[in-house]
Amino acid sequence: TGGWFGWMMPTLILWLVNGVIVLSVFIKLLVHGEPVTRLHSRSSVTFWRHRKQADLDLAKGDFAAAASNLQLCLSALGRALPASRLDLACGLSWNVIRYSLQKLGLVRWLLKRTSRQRRTTEAPVGFEDEAKMSARDAALAYHKLHQLHITGKLPSSSAYSGLHMALCAVNLAECAEEKIPASTLAEIHLTAAVGLKTRCGGKLGFLASYFLSQAQSLCSSEHSAIPDSLRWLCHPLGQKFFVERSWTVKAAAKESLYCAQRNSADPIAQVHQAFCENLLEKAVESLVKPPVPKGITGQDDEEPCEFANALEYLKLLGSFMDSLGSGTPPFTGNSVLKSAPGPDVVCRWWSSAITMTIGWLRGDDASVRSQFTNVERIPKCLEMTESALVKAVFHVCKAMNASLSSKADGQQSSFGHCERASTHLWNSLNMSSGVSSTGLNNMIQLLACDLLLSLRTTLWQKQMNTSQAVGETYHASASELTGFQRDLGSLRKLAHSFRPAYRKVFLHEATVRLMAGASPTRTHQLLEHSLRRRTPQSSKQGELDALPGQRERATAILLACRHLPLSFLSSPGQRAVLLAEAARTLEKVGDKRSCNDCQQMIVKLSGGTAIAAS
């Protein structure tokens, strides 16, 4: 035993001495090796001159000159960017080691103790604050350079150069401690995560997830100080969207029809824009693609309501859509290196239009009128796009609002807006047929087309009810049939490229036959197609998308019981069962108008005695 101990003891002592020496060297580098720029020194004056010039260059869109001035800022602070591959490799290695050491509790304690001793012996008064402010200024300069790198404004830089800038920004920001706000520190961590996901691909995905978790922990630690531009990241949907990376960061800011344009030099703003569009797409998708039931007949009550899902997504969108900007750097109040904060009027307009649509489909007249005050004030930037789809949606909303009027001129005004919306929708389909349309474009087109056909059906039924009340027979006019056929043609055209449009075709084809007084045999067959149930047994997703949903089935029951001859329907008892099922469905989805019509038909069918829908 003595021989073994005598052999091991010198080796252990040697390793201990080596460890102490290496740790002392690292602490010496971390404490004494950092360049510190004193206030009002020549270096500080040079830094601020180039810093302000970089702001002016970015305001003019001269990103190359801005990057050059930011590099001169770092040189003035004694932190020039690596000039060779060897410099880059050494700088990157040191920053990795430094970040790892800063995360060790023992090293942090030793650094604080060493800094305190230095402050009491050799450091002049105020030196510690100047050191932290110097680290803060350098961190923000690295951070802005890293943003330009991610957005493609530094085409000559490599992925490792971007990683070096990200680590420098993170390390120096943590050294600044209280001199840099937690919100800005979270933004720096999140930008590092964006850079790792976009520039390094899947090689360093674990590091991107780590920096993302660090940003989230910083945001959650100060709930009152979370900037609007980062609040979306604290939501599970925002985190999932970021991790799955269904987004891209481009050199030129993406021109979107559904969101206001973001700062092209701010990668977080671009990701936030993609997230807002994703929420809007999910809301519209809930309306045009009903959820697949979990089971067979009898379990339909467990299906989620498409209206409720859409409103939930729109509520989330309303809380996140105005987060246009990034946190303001603490040393300047008018930096143009950040996105200009403010409301996203474009996204808010689309949200109001979709909310108004849901209100009309549910028969909530108060919601339609309240949302129309927002929709009729179309944003100037959206109006200048001259988009046929925007014009179509705008006139559809006008038609919905006018249809609520009980006066004849209100119905005529609604019909006129339907005609204008129909023309713009047809132009939109023709313009998008030659190019690859986005999924959101197709869903908005389908929603607008379905609303137009539903509006025309409602106007026709109101005219028919008025005529029946005075003992007259009403036949749809040629203009009504022509307009309905034109919109039906738009729906068929859309169905060729967008499969979910098929689930609307049969119901509206049956409706136009009822309006024209055509043979009820074919009309009955079309309605029978809409009465099919959507079950998860279908093997292909395309087949599920083409099958009708709950609302289509309930609407088909109402049309059949209201307009088809009695010989085409089941016995009165079976008709009552179908109407009771339709009433339950319509009540569940919240369609007050159609549910009331269904209850009135049940009362008439029972000879004046209401049949319980349950």
CA distances from 582 to 438, 554, 597 (A): 34, 5, 11
- For helices 63-76 and 42-59, the axis angle rounded to 10 degrees is 170
> Are 199 and 162 within 8 A, CB to CB?
yes
> 146-193: per-residue pLDDT in tens?
999 998 888 777 888 999 999 999 999 988 888 888 888 999 999 999
Structure tokens at 541: 């997703």
Range ranked top by mean pLDDT from 216-225, 483-492, 557-566? 483-492
Length of the chain counted residue by residue: 614
Contact 586, 305 (CB under 8 A): no
Which amino acid appears at position 513 of this protein?
R
Choice between 470 and 467, residue whose per-residue pLDDT is larger: 467
Which helix (H) or strand (E) segment is 20 a member of?
helix 2-32
Is pLDDT above 60 for 383? yes
Extract the runs of DSSP E, i.e. beta strands, from 229-363: none
Element (H, E) at 281: helix 267-288
**pLDDT for 16-42, tens place per residue?**
888 778 777 766 666 655 677 777 788
For the chain, give the mean pLDDT.
Answer: 80
pLDDT for 117 equals: 56
% of the chain exceeding 90 in pLDDT = 31
Coil/strand/helix, residue 342: strand
Residues 136-152: tens digit of each pLDDT: 999 999 999 999 999 88
CB 276 within 8 A of CB 347: yes
Quick check: 89 pLDDT over 90? yes
pLDDT band at 378 (very low <50, low <70, confident <90, very high): very high
In whole angstroms, how large is the CA radius of gyration of the chain? Answer: 33
Q: Is the pLDDT of residue 387 over 80?
A: yes
Residue 219 to residue 227: CA distance in whole angstroms: 8
Alpha-carbon span 344 to 272, nearest angstrom: 11
pTM comes to 0.84
Question: Taking a C-beta distance cutoff of 8 angstroms, is the pair 344, 276 a contact?
Answer: yes
Measured torsion, CA atoms of residues 282, 284, 287, 288, in degrees rounded to the nearest 10: -100
Which of these, 126, 103, 122, 124, lies nearest to 114 by C-alpha position? 122
Dist CA 386 CA 442 (whole Å): 18
Structure tokens at 503: 């689930």
User: What angle, rounded to 10 degrees, do the helices at 236-244 and 267-288 form?
Assistant: 110
Lowest pLDDT segment from 68-77, 204-213, 284-293, 468-477? 468-477
